A and B are shown apart, each in its own frame.
Chain A
Amino acid sequence: MKFLSDKAVERLREGANPPDLAGTRYALLERVAQGGMGVVYAAQDEKLGRRVALKVLDTPDQKGELARRLLREAQVLAQLEHPGIVPVHDVGTLEDGRVFYTMKFVEGQRLDKHIEAVASLPDRLRLFLRICDAVAFAHARGVLHRDLKPANIMAGSFGEILVLDWGLAKILHAPRNENRVDGDPETRRIEEPGVALAGPPSTEALSVTGHGAVMGTPGYMSPEQARGDVESLDEGTDIFSLGALLRFLWTQQPPGTPPQPLTRTDKSLEAMCAKATAVNPDDRYSSVRAVAADVSRYLDGLPVSARSETVLDQAGRFYRRHSVAILLIAAYLLMRVGLLLVTHR
């Protein structure tokens, strides 16, 4: 008789326990991922004839707290219509009472797998800029992700980069909306979770997770988040995670890995990572846009705000940026000097 490891027992439990989608427009295809509170399945939307990802609670939820969280996650995602954020299609309840939502099915690889095939640092940094775009958009809508890490970023088959798993998201404030009358209490009211699916986000700090709970991923989680200081979290916590992601994309090593002795250091990149992951949130970049701007400047060979350069650094950077022209000019000058020497003999 074959011995079953703990993991095998867990897989058998999950594999043999598919959600019953009777009464919905979806047909179950396969289990694709396990999240903190739910499982994601591939399902076929039989009305529209397309494949979707269906996330459903998989843990007992006597008090309905997890159902409210899942619903909140769907609501958060629905507010974030952006090419870098996976769109929600539908939300509902299964016959057994479990809440589910469906979203775009993304075929591709997790970022940590994907970058194994991306050898060029500039290409990896350009991926990072697209992640920053999505996070900056969420921040503009008043939403913190709070669990940014390679496993939660998907690189699609057609080059798309999508930020996934907004299960730990926190709503900070109402979105910036030019068409709305500022201060109008009616436009800022939020429905109680679980009562209505549509409704503007709240002006008060609402968390998809419970207040005070420590949730996140070590290495990518900011010190204030690791302390469970949920109420005081702001954009800085995602900026910290982006800094850890930037370092990961640069070194291709997970956080906490000792630096390789033979790795050539890059002081500008090191300074950008250090600034984004500063222990004190006040020492970090003021916004995701500021992080992205520094990375863009780095890619263009310009000085970055995170580091004061010496004259030698400036000269080195100037050389790297204009190396072709400098070499051509140097070759031209050498040729002229050579000609002068020959003609004066």
Chain B
Amino acid sequence: MIDAVRGNDPGERSRALETLFAAYWKPTYKYVRLKWNRPAEDAQDLTQGFFAELLERDLLGKYQPAKSRLRTYLRVCLDSFVMNEDKARRRQKRGGQVLHVALDFAAAEGELDGMAIDAAQIPSPESLEEFFEKEWVRTLFMLAVEDLRKRCEARDRETTFRLFEEYDLDGEPDVSYEKLAQQYGMSATEVTNALAWARREFRSIALGRLREICGSDEEFQREARAVFGRNAR
């Protein structure tokens, strides 16, 4: 993906950037709200300004996969950008390249409210780094779940997605394979098989998205292990 961003093909470049922004804009927005304690409106401007700056200053072109993870690099760039906030705002006002990713800040703000985050509870830089990583994983998974939903619809497997949603996403305390089997008129074995399929697909989709937003194979291996544990492949 980084190669596509650096390349000369405008179509490929645009597609790669949109993939990247889709995965990173929410963690960026929440991180700015939390670490920099900026009001929602400022955080929205800063998030958009940051991605505009990434393009204008070709920061992705300067990224060196051998030196750090892309996630860490972007977070460091973001910190530096927010520290020069006024300058960033001026850049944003000048306009710049257009992004085609819809940034639903209201939804992101609602998620922050729902999480009831207290900045005082995570004062250390390490905690904020973890927070950024956690939000990044959450966004990656949300995108993968959405892809899985579309894949299930395309393959007439809506029931499979509903089972996955009820068992793995909602996870009510009293949910069980037996209850789902009764509810959907299936056998427990069919529920087991459907969920196993959905999890395999989810994993494959999430890893596919992850591969797209990593700077190198080595980074992908590292990030896959961070997201899915030691036997991620």
Interface residues of A (CB under 8 A from B): 1-4, 6-9, 11-13, 15-20, 29-30, 58, 60, 94, 96, 98
Contact = CB atoms under 8 A, between A and B. Distances in A.
Contact of B146 (A2, A6, A12, A17): A2
A15 B168 contact: yes
Contacts of A3: 107, 110-111, 114, 142
Interface of B: 107, 110-111, 114-115, 134, 137-138, 141-143, 145-146, 165, 168-171, 177, 192, 195-196, 199-200, 202-203, 206, 227-232
A200 B46 CA distance: 65
A12 B140 CA distance: 11
Contacts of B199: 15-16, 18
Contacts of A60: 229-230
Contacts of B232: 17
A31 to B, nearest CB: 10
Given A3-B107, A8-B169, A58-B229, A16 B206 contact: yes
Contacts of A13: 137, 227-229
Contact of A1 (B146, B200, B227): B146
A7 B203 CA distance: 17
A80 to B, nearest CB: 30
A79 B169 CA distance: 40
A75 B111 CA distance: 46
B203 A16 contact: yes
A310 B134 CA distance: 62
Nearest to A15: B199
Q: Chain B's interface: helix, strand, loop or mixed, by majority?
A: helix
B186 to A, nearest CB: 15
Given A16-B199, A30-B192, A4 B228 contact: no
Given A8-B168, A15-B199, A2 B142 contact: yes
Given A16-B202, A16-B206, A4 B138 contact: yes
A105 to B, nearest CB: 14
A94 B229 CA distance: 14
Contacts of A8: 141, 168-171
A9 B195 CA distance: 16
18 contacts: A2-B145, A2-B146, A2-B169, A4-B145, A6-B115, A8-B168, A8-B170, A13-B137, A15-B199, A16-B199, A16-B203, A16-B206, A16-B228, A18-B199, A30-B177, A30-B196, A58-B229, A96-B231
B171 A9 contact: no
Contacts of A4: 138, 141-142, 145, 169
A8 B169 CA distance: 5
Pairs of residues from A and B, 5 with the lowest C-beta to C-beta distance, nearest first: A16-B203, A96-B231, A15-B199, A17-B228, A17-B229
A220 to B, nearest CB: 21
A96 B230 CA distance: 8
A4 B110 CA distance: 12
Contacts of B169: 2, 4, 8, 11-12
Contacts of B114: 3
Contact of B142 (A1, A16, A20, A98): A1
A8 B134 CA distance: 12
Contacts of A18: 199
Contacts of A6: 115, 134, 138
Contact of B171 (A11, A94, A98): A11
Contacts of B107: 1, 3
A9 B231 contact: no
A212 to B, nearest CB: 24
A11 B230 contact: no
Given A1-B146, A15-B168, 18 more contacts: A1-B143, A1-B145, A4-B141, A6-B134, A9-B134, A9-B141, A12-B168, A12-B169, A13-B229, A15-B195, A15-B199, A17-B228, A17-B229, A17-B231, A30-B195, A58-B229, A94-B231, A96-B230
A30 B229 CA distance: 18
A64 to B, nearest CB: 13
Contacts of A2: 142, 145-146, 165, 169
A3 B138 CA distance: 8
B223 to A, nearest CB: 13
A99 to B, nearest CB: 12
A259 B107 CA distance: 44
Contacts of B110: 3
B110 to A, nearest CB: 8
Nearest to B228: A17
Contact of B141 (A12, A29, A30): A12
B150 to A, nearest CB: 11
B221 to A, nearest CB: 13
A92 to B, nearest CB: 15
Contacts of A12: 141, 145, 168-169, 202
Given A3-B107, A4-B142, A4-B169, A9 B230 contact: no
Nearest to B192: A30
Contacts of A98: 230-231
